[in-house]
Amino acid sequence: MRATMMYGAKEVRVEQVPDARIEQPTDALVRVVRACICGSDLWPYRDPQRKETGWQIGHEAIGIVEDVGREVSTVKRGDFVIMPFAYSDGHCEFCAEGLHTACVHGGFFGTGQVAGAQAEAVRVPLADGTLYRLPTVPHEALLGSLLTLSDVMGTGHHAAVVARVSPGKRVAVVGGGAVGLCGVLAAKRLGAEQIILLDRHPDRIELGKAFGATDVVTERGEAAVERVMSLTGGRGVHSVLECVGTEEAMHTSILITRPGGAIGRVGVPHYETIPASGPAFYKNITVGGGPAPARAYIDVLLPDVLEGRIEPGRVFDRIIGLDEVPEGYRAMDQRQAIKVMIKP
């Protein structure tokens, strides 16, 4: 079959690889109907060091079950499924608490442990715990939004949950990439009164407004902090969704948080430390977040997708075939696309 191989140093190739197949009795084999490229895939892509051997990348997919191992009982051949970016057994103490990304038997797709999903098919470990089965094959118009439940919408929702967004709150979303845009949508869905999007790209800003952003701040650094303060009566926001993953974004987040407020950070952090003293302490700010338990959030978000109340699939502004994946990476890397969907 064909699959996407990542080599770093902006080299990504679609290659012929051995067919994905059942290896464990708890596996399922899923034919990929739609996959996509994640902002986090750009980190290895941008890594200046080129690897001799690549690895199969991609961790977001929806698809049709083609085969299952003999111990799999909740999905069967022909089922339409959402594949969250982490696999999980569904019954360990962490899964039971809804933190599937800490599953004691779990792991992540496309990281080298388990082959990635930017491919014609993907082997899904612990299929009973991992896959979310839909009762019917959905209409094509819903595919994009369903695909976001694999990661990006669940991740935006996680940022909002960790940042304690609730009705009436003032919220800032730092970074209007696909995660940040889903964060806007999640904040709106959770009842935020004010949603300030910090970004400077017109295409993102336009979609952010459509998703519920009430204010946009295009400044950066100190000027951005001043703008948010002036938009919030000098107090700052209750909740910050840090959707960039850089040191500058975290510093800005701390400065714009209201005393007693919370920051939810979900971008894989490309910084080593969070300021400990100064405003972070004296304002009693809470900082949390990490890999989103997307599997748990499907239960929460799916009804709103199926009934059309949210359309997170609008973050996809380009659809490509599998062969065009290298071009998809290039477009996202150069910010010519917000998020690229792959139709293998």
Q: Which residue has the tokens 């996202």?
A: 332
Least separation in angstroms between CB 68 and a second copy: 29
Alpha carbon 101 to its chain's center: 13
Rounded Cα gap, residues 216 and 199, in angstroms: 7
Least separation in angstroms between CB 254 and a second copy: 11
| Backbone torsions φ then ψ of 54, nearest 5 degrees | -85, 180
Name the segment binding a second copy (CB under 8 A); options: 3-11, 14-22, 37-45, 254-262.
254-262
Name the segment binding a second copy (CB under 8 A); options: 8-16, 89-97, 208-216, 301-309.
89-97
Structure tokens that stand for 79 in this block: 């089922």
Rounded Cα gap, residues 250 and 275, in angstroms: 9
Name the segment binding a second copy (CB under 8 A); options: 49-57, 96-104, 174-182, 189-197.
96-104
The residue from 287, 305, 310, 340 that contacts a second copy (CB under 8 A) is 287
The residue from 162, 171, 198, 249 that contacts a second copy (CB under 8 A) is 162
If one asks whether residue 77 binds a second copy (CB under 8 A), the answer comes out as no
Name the residue among 249, 256, 246 with its Cα closest to residue 279. 256
Least separation in angstroms between CB 17 and a second copy: 28
Least separation in angstroms between CB 123 and a second copy: 23
The residue from 25, 191, 259, 321 that contacts a second copy (CB under 8 A) is 259
If one asks whether residue 275 binds a second copy (CB under 8 A), the answer comes out as yes
CA angle (60 as vertex; 272, 187 as ends), nearest 5:
65
Residue 53, amino acid: T
Binding mask 5-34 for a second copy (x = CB under 8 A): ------------------------------
The residue from 250, 298, 305, 331 that contacts a second copy (CB under 8 A) is 250
Name the residue among 134, 60, 146, 128 with its Cα closest to residue 88. 128
In Å, how far are 23, 63, 71, 144, 190 from 124, measured between CA atoms?
10, 11, 13, 20, 32
Structure tokens that stand for 213 in this block: 């952003």
Contacts of 251 (CB under 8 A, 6+ apart): 275
If one asks whether residue 283 binds a second copy (CB under 8 A), the answer comes out as yes
If one asks whether residue 281 binds a second copy (CB under 8 A), the answer comes out as yes
Determine contact, residues 175/244, Cβ cutoff 8 Å.
Answer: yes
Residue 1, amino acid: M
Rounded Cα gap, residues 178 and 40, in angstroms: 11
Rounded Cα gap, residues 213 and 183, in angstroms: 10
If one asks whether residue 93 binds a second copy (CB under 8 A), the answer comes out as yes
If one asks whether residue 167 binds a second copy (CB under 8 A), the answer comes out as no
The residue from 94, 109, 297, 329 that contacts a second copy (CB under 8 A) is 94
The residue from 107, 112, 138, 290 that contacts a second copy (CB under 8 A) is 290
If one asks whether residue 168 binds a second copy (CB under 8 A), the answer comes out as no
Interacting residues with a second copy (CB under 8 A): 93-94, 97, 99, 101-102, 162, 235, 250, 259-260, 262, 265, 268-269, 271-277, 281-291
